[in-house]
Structure 1
Amino acid sequence: MVGRGTSHQSPPSGTVAPTWPAVPRDLHDAYILEVLGDPSAGEVCFQSRPESASTARRLTLAKLRAWGLGPLSDTCELLVSELVGNAVRHTGAQTFGLTMERRRGWVRVEVRDPSRALPCLLPVQDLDVSGRGLMLVDKLSDRWGVDLLPRGKTAWFELRDGER
């Protein structure tokens, strides 16, 4: 692994530990897209586990940076977390899929799962401890929705990318 030595010993006193070159972000992102899959080339499948959310976020951020859309990162990362969280917590599915599409002026992110149960946008009170996911998607995305499929559904959101 670049950036880590194999020895766990401290350098002798009076010497400076070697510095390892930082991996440029674009190489890191290219590696992530190669290993996990490119969500703009086809669906990337994940096991339906809570830890998959961080992997889906990492993949989403790598793709946004590859497209030169870093300014969308914070919002997109949060919204991906919400859609993935819904797929993991509420569907009982073993897997879910992530796809991304870039069209002129827009980025679309989709999370597909095999459940046909529709998510609900519920009113949320100040003291509620859950139920804010779709409210965030509704408030922060430019468009969002859910498409029923013959076997499951796709929850999606779109963000303007500022190129229009």
Structure 2
Amino acid sequence: MAGLEGYERPRRHTGATAARWSPAVEDEHALKALELFGNPTDAEVPLPSRPESAAIARRLAQVVVLRHWGLSPKLTEDVVLLVSELVGNAVRHTGARVFGLRMERRRGWIRVEVRDPSRGLPCLMPVHEMDLSGRGLFLVDKLSDRWGVDLLPRGKTTWFEMRAADR
């Protein structure tokens, strides 16, 4: 699908809700993940393409957003959910052995990227109430302010951005 480099979908503000997640004030698992795998704000963190890597990515996102950046628990909850969805897609649909997680913050915004070696583009599908799967990009579309896919010479980066109040 040539020509979709830099493709992004603007957020349509709706009342989408997701399952609630509550960050612990002291999450030693998150701090341990940061120590073991590295900080995704310093450099891309490579993770093995296995289902259990979603938990690692969630913990890294939690510790970065809540502790390092000092942002709200609600924003942390949403970022953690969306990281889990992008990682799940990378693990399930790309056939990759490794994927990368990167996070950055700039004035008023945060950006999360998941890079994998597949050039297959994710597809936003219509979601119906009784669907048991296929809701990942639907949630990314509803909860993020912007998201998109950047094709790379070897793979792609799927990303989302969210507004974040500066303190």
Name the TM-score class by shorter chain: 0.7 to 0.9
Alignment-derived partner of residue 21 in structure 2: none
Matched, 1:128 2:166: no
Unaligned runs of 5+ in 1: 1-23
Which secondary structure does the structure 2 equivalent of 1:120 belong to? coil
- With over 3 angstroms needed to count, the CA separation of the structure-2 counterparts of 1:67 and 1:28, relative to structure 1, is farther
Output the amino acid matched with 2:107.
R
Aligned-pair RMSD on alpha carbons? 1.8
Query: Which residues in structure 2 correspond to 1:66-85 (within 5 Å)?
Result: 66-71=68-73, 72-85=75-88
Q: Please, which of 71, 74, 89 is the counterpart of residue 92 of structure 2?
A: 89
Unaligned runs of 5+ in 2: 1-24
- With over 3 angstroms needed to count, the CA separation of the structure-2 counterparts of 1:155 and 1:26, relative to structure 1, is same
Alignment-derived partner of residue 39 in structure 1: 40
Contact 1:83 1:155 in 2 (8 A): yes
TM-score, normalised with respect to structure 1: 0.80
Which secondary structure does the structure 1 equivalent of 2:131 belong to? coil
- With over 3 angstroms needed to count, the CA separation of the structure-2 counterparts of 1:131 and 1:29, relative to structure 1, is closer
Q: Please, which of 139, 154, 158 is the counterpart of residue 157 of structure 2?
A: 154
Alignment-derived partner of residue 114 in structure 2: 111
- With over 3 angstroms needed to count, the CA separation of the structure-2 counterparts of 1:82 and 1:75, relative to structure 1, is same
The offset of 1:67, in angstroms, is: 1.0
Contact 1:142 1:157 in 2 (8 A): yes
> Using the alignment, how far apart are the partners of 2:33 and 2:94 within structure 1?
27
Higher Rg: 1
Q: Please, which of 83, 101, 104 is the counterpart of residue 101 of structure 1?
A: 104
Q: Highest relative contact order (Cα 8 Å, sep 6+), 1 or 2?
A: 2
Output the amino acid matched with 1:51.
E
Question: How many residue pairs align between the two structures?
Answer: 141
TM-score, normalised with respect to structure 2: 0.79
Output the amino acid matched with 1:55.
I
Moved over 2 A (4+): 24-35
Contact 2:33 2:56 in 1 (8 A): no
> Using the alignment, how far apart are the partners of 1:163 and 1:62 within structure 2?
17
Contact 2:94 2:120 in 1 (8 A): yes
Which secondary structure does the structure 2 equivalent of 1:112 belong to? strand
Which secondary structure does the structure 2 equivalent of 1:83 belong to? helix
> Using the alignment, how far apart are the partners of 2:44 and 2:83 within structure 1?
14
